[in-house]
Amino acid sequence: MVYSYIKGLVNYAVNKNLIEKDDIVYATNRVLALLKLDDYVDEIAEELELHELLKGITDYAVSKNLINDSITERDIFDTELMAIFTDRPSNVIKKYNVIYAKDKLLATNWYYDFSVATNYIRKDRIQKDVKWKTDTEYGKLDITINLSKPEKDPKAIAAMKNQKASSYPMCQLCKENEGYLGRLNHPARGNHRIIPLHMEGEDFYLQYSPYVYYNEHCIVFNKVHKPMIIDKPTMRKLLSFVDYLPHYFVGSNADLPIVGGSILAHEHFQGGHYHFAMEDAKSIYDFKVDGYPNCSLSIVKWPLSVIRVHSNNKDEIANLAEHILNTWIDYSDEEVSIYAYTDGVRHNTITPIVRKKDGLYEMDLVLRNNLTTEEYPLGLFHPHQEYHHIKKENIGLIEVMGLAVLPARLKNEMAEVKEILLGRAKISEATEKHEAWIKELQAKYQFNEENVDSIVKEEIGKTYAKILENAGVYKMTEEGINHFKKFTKAL
């Protein structure tokens, strides 16, 4: 059967324009080499989905003891298979730039489709993600239970005991990942291709996230491995990026722990072609700041604390963003538990997001604070303990904009919770963390087969809205809004 899978994979590559017909014999031989085969039988091609073709060939590799049967080693092997059909970086860059010169939207369309076709973006895994929208007072929030990012592989963890330590590539964002084989503790990137760009005198690269939390989820990372920082140059880079790709938004995680992203050691931004609920947040208070005549500002109705700025002047909006950031860094309001410093440790920063709309720059500056207290040791403006059964991880850029990235464990746990709500199961070790929430739901609803799924999803979405409210330094109450206005006066 392996020959029919090989032929099917080669035909797939031709059909997706990854290779040309003149490349068929060469590509076939490269696959045979990877499988340690020195013979070939021209069988009828398997007409299957890409992931099925790759599984068929990888199963053969396992059966011949070419690799161990673990998720990690399978991923490394099937990535090497796809690397055979993935063009050299220089050719990919040339193709992208030719299309970009004619049409920026078509350029990103081509690059995204290429990243899917090469299986760098594993569509079969992303399709397993559980997704829905929940109506809240802040609009329709996106809720996702992420199943596409591989869980820690127990076999790989065991094998890593014998693996030599390596610092190459230095992190999962570094440019040296392009074409990298991968190892037990570092993902395979043989089919990974990046696009160079220049912003504010520095070299960056564009890539897509292999986990695609939303449409065309891209990452823009610095050529140099240097730490994340939120400052005026960062604001200017974000503004430059939406000049480069005006149909994309872009944002940066904050630069402090708890309110920042998972990789603070390498400067990077995230963007894409997606409309988040945050974008539709309406103004509840408009104001101006002296010295910035071309900028209009507003507080918008959103669970986190957002100042939205519009301007047609790139220099002025960057200068104003720096002014707001610097004012916020040193700003305290003890009446609402906002402390700029404790014991000399800084707590205030900003999560910035930039879009281009109708010829104007639109910048959302989200005020963040990472203070911890005895009552809230993981963070006062962080998901509170009563919601940890749903999510206890940091609220980063993607969550800030209204897209919940919930842990994979929830899929099975929610299946059990539904059985409990229908009276067919009891609390287990896996669901005891949800016990208080289950009792609340039982008191609030009468459950049946028809409504249990929709109610549980809606209640998860409402819980996520409360989690975002936890992360807001100014609550959307009369008192909170008044204190927020007080901060705007300090500008």
**Predicted local confidence at residue 96, as pLDDT:** 98
Exposure string of 372-407, with b = 16+ CB inside 10 Å and e = fewer, is beeebebbbbbbbeebebbbeebbbbbbbbbbbbbe
- pLDDT at position 263: 80
What mean pLDDT do residues 361-366 have?
A: 98
Q: Is the dihedral of CA 173, 176, 178, 184 positive or negative?
A: negative
Place of tokens 């990472």: 370
Task: Examine residue 169 and say whether the peptide bond preceding it is cis (omega within 30 degrees of 0).
Answer: yes
pLDDT for 163: 59
Number of residues assigned to the chain: 491
* Mean pLDDT value across residues 202-207: 98
In this model, does residue 154 exceed pLDDT 70? no
- Per DSSP, 428 falls in state -
Specify whether the CB–CB gap between 361 and 310 falls below 8 A. Answer: yes
Within its chain, how far is the Cα of 197 from the centroid?
Answer: 21
Summarised one tens digit per residue, pLDDT across range 367-391 is: 999 999 999 999 999 999 999 999 9
Task: Give residue 19's pLDDT band: very low, low, confident or very high (50, 70, 90).
Answer: very high
Beta-bridge partners for 222:
204
Note the helical H segments in 406-477: 409-421, 435-444, 452-471
Which structure tokens are listed for 73?
Answer: 């080693």
pLDDT of residue 46: 85
Query: What integer pLDDT is reported at residue 1 of this predicted model?
Result: 86
Residues 96-114: pLDDT tens digits? 999 999 999 999 999 999 9
* CB 85 within 8 Å of CB 78: no
Percent of the chain with pLDDT over 90: 92
Please enumerate, as own/partner, the contacts of 164-170 that have beta carbons within 8 Å and a separation of 24 or more: 170/225, 170/266
- Using an 8 Å Cβ cutoff, are 422 and 407 in contact? no
pLDDT for 156 beyond 60: no
pLDDT band at 150 (very low <50, low <70, confident <90, very high): low
Average pLDDT over every residue of 213-234: 96
| Residue 364 pLDDT greater than 90, yes or no | yes
- Kindly give the pairing relationship between strand 403-406 and strand 283-287: unpaired
User: Angle 2-15/50-63 helices, nearest 10 degrees?
Assistant: 150
The predicted-structure confidence for 110-136, as pLDDT tens digits, reads as follows 999 999 999 999 999 999 999 999 999
Q: Mind listing the pLDDT tens digit for each residue in 390-435?
A: 999 899 999 999 999 999 999 999 999 999 999 999 999 999 999 9
Residue 346, token pair as written in the block? 């800084």
For 219-254, the DSSP string reads: EEEESS------SHHHHHHHHHHHHHSTTSEEE--B
Q: Is 0.75 surpassed by the pTM of this model?
A: yes
SS3 357: strand
For the chain, the average pLDDT equals: 95
For residue 441, pLDDT over 60 is answered with: yes
pLDDT for res 45: 87
Closest to 360 measured CA to CA, from 298, 306, 296: 296
- Contacts of 140 by beta carbon, 8 Å cutoff, 6+ apart: 133, 134, 277
- Report residue 147's pLDDT band, with 50, 70 and 90 as the boundaries: confident
The pLDDT, as a whole number, for residue 159 is 57
CA–CA dist 324, 237 (Å, integer): 17
- Nearest Cα to Cα of residue 241 among 228, 233, 250, 232: 250
